Amino acid sequence: MDLDVHLAAIVAGDTRAFGSWMAGAEPRVRDSLRSFAQVIDVEAVLQETLLRTWQVAPRLIDDGRPDGLVRMAIRIGRNLAVSELRRTRAAPADGDELDAALGAGDAPASAPDPMLRKAITECRDKLPGKPRQALDARLASAGGQDDSDLASALHMTLNTFLQNFTRARQLIADCLGKRGVAIDQELGA
Amino acid sequence: MTDDELLIEQVASAYRPVPRDELRYHPHWYDLDGAGRERAFARARALRALEAALDPDGLSTTARAVLARITGRR
């Protein structure tokens, strides 16, 4: 699906449309920054990239190819990552990797699999109390609070909170594995 | 859990201090070596897919954090 279907609404200031665009675009923009993972905080750069994409979307010039806004976001992310490299004086990433990352923007967006969503939800619903609390706290905070604050709110130490969160993702990974669902190995690590 | 595992779990979250004049990294990102940062990237990637699957609008906590900044809630 061409994510530019959301572009007119985004330009009109519709944040829900931008959310729908991010649901498809975020993994691709994140993956385009993979080669920088050792030298910059990709999560911080990614969030700033997505914010700037929202701000400059009205300036996008249609080149007739699909996913113009995704390709623009990948360029914004790359430029921001390079600026961060200069600021932090870290070793630059390999140029070929950068070009490959930019090319990744041409990959089609995959729609969320409803069956996978259902399986994940059912596995989440089987979590025991404390791990479920830790997972729910992370989801509810949506990146707005650090883990120390989330732990305090749940009357847990930071270590206990992190152990419960780790257990939650590992249990979900185990549950999905038993259902024959292929998962990212890092989820169960 | 090892100290590194605890750090990776925290850095893999979507929490980041709100930028001021320049980007602000997760405080513990600086405590990780290159391999640890790679693991944090991979862990974040896996977690965001999980989060999006659990969200009614298909949004990860990264996307929710960005929307909060756009709408002035953060």
pLDDT tens column, A169-183 = 999 999 999 999 888
Q: Which of B10, B55, B57 sits opposite A147 (nearest CB)?
A: B10
**Is B64–A163 a contact, with Cβ atoms under 8 angstroms apart?**
no
Answer with the one of A106, A133, A165 that is the final residue of a domain. A106
- For the ranges A56-70, A88-102, B30-44, the lowest mean pLDDT is seen at A88-102
Q: How many structural domains does chain B have?
A: 1
**What's the CA gap between A165 and A137, in Å, rounded?**
9
Does B5 score more than 80 pLDDT? yes
Residue A135 and residue A99 in one domain: no
Q: How many structural domains does chain A have?
A: 2
- Residue B38 distance to chain A (closest CA, Å): 6
**What's the CA gap between A151 and B27, in Å, rounded?**
17
Confidence at residue B42, expressed as pLDDT on a 0 to 100 scale: 97
What confidence tier does B21 reach under pLDDT thresholds 50, 70, 90?
A: confident
- Mean pLDDT (whole number) for A154-165: 98
Confidence at residue B32, expressed as pLDDT on a 0 to 100 scale: 97
**What's the CA gap between A77 and A95, in Å, rounded?**
15
Contacts of B2 in chain A (CB under 8 A): none
Residue A92 and residue A184 in one domain: no
Confidence at residue A166, expressed as pLDDT on a 0 to 100 scale: 97
Contacts of A10 in chain B (CB under 8 A): none
**What's the CA gap between A34 and A27, in Å, rounded?**
11
Q: Report the mean per-residue pLDDT for chain A.
A: 90
CB pairs under 8 A between A and B: 163
Q: Which residue range forms the structural domain that includes residue B65?
A: 3-70
Percent of chain A with pLDDT over 70: 88
CATH number of the CATH domain containing A60:
1.10.1740
Does A118 score more than 90 pLDDT? yes
- Mean pLDDT (whole number) for A90-114: 56
Burial class for A80, CB neighbours closer than 10 Å (0-12, 13-18, 19+): buried
Give which of A10, A41, A135 to mutate to test B binding, by max B Cβ within 10 Å.
Answer: A41
Residue A11 and residue A90 in one domain: yes
Does A105 score more than 50 pLDDT? no
Residue A17 and residue A88 in one domain: yes
Contacts of A15 in chain B (CB under 8 A): 67, 70-71
Does A104 score more than 80 pLDDT? no
Confidence at residue A92, expressed as pLDDT on a 0 to 100 scale: 52
Contacts of B68 in chain A (CB under 8 A): 142-144
Say whether residue B18 is in contact with chain A using an 8 A CB cutoff: no
What confidence tier does B47 reach under pLDDT thresholds 50, 70, 90?
A: very high
Q: Which of B10, B23, B65 sits opposite A143 (nearest CB)?
A: B65
- Residue B31 distance to chain A (closest CA, Å): 12
**Is B63–A54 a contact, with Cβ atoms under 8 angstroms apart?**
no
Q: Which of A45, A121, A142 sits opposite B54 (nearest CB)?
A: A121
What confidence tier does B43 reach under pLDDT thresholds 50, 70, 90?
A: very high
What confidence tier does A141 reach under pLDDT thresholds 50, 70, 90?
A: very high
Confidence at residue A97, expressed as pLDDT on a 0 to 100 scale: 53
Answer with the one of A106, A124, A145 that is the final residue of a domain. A106
Confidence at residue A89, expressed as pLDDT on a 0 to 100 scale: 74
- Mean pLDDT (whole number) for A121-149: 97
Q: Which residue range forms the structural domain that includes residue A34?
A: 3-106
Q: What is the DSSP letter of A3?
A: G
Q: Which of B11, B70, B74 sits opposite A144 (nearest CB)?
A: B74
Answer with the one of A85, A106, A127 that is the final residue of a domain. A106
- Residue A107 distance to chain B (closest CA, Å): 17
Does B26 score more than 60 pLDDT? yes
**What's the CA gap between A94 and B54, in Å, rounded?**
36
What confidence tier does A108 reach under pLDDT thresholds 50, 70, 90?
A: very low
CATH number of the CATH domain containing A146:
1.10.10.10
User: What pLDDT digit, counting tens, does each position of A22-81 carry?
Assistant: 999 999 999 999 999 999 999 999 999 999 999 999 999 989 999 999 999 999 999 999
**What's the CA gap between B66 and B71, in Å, rounded?**
9
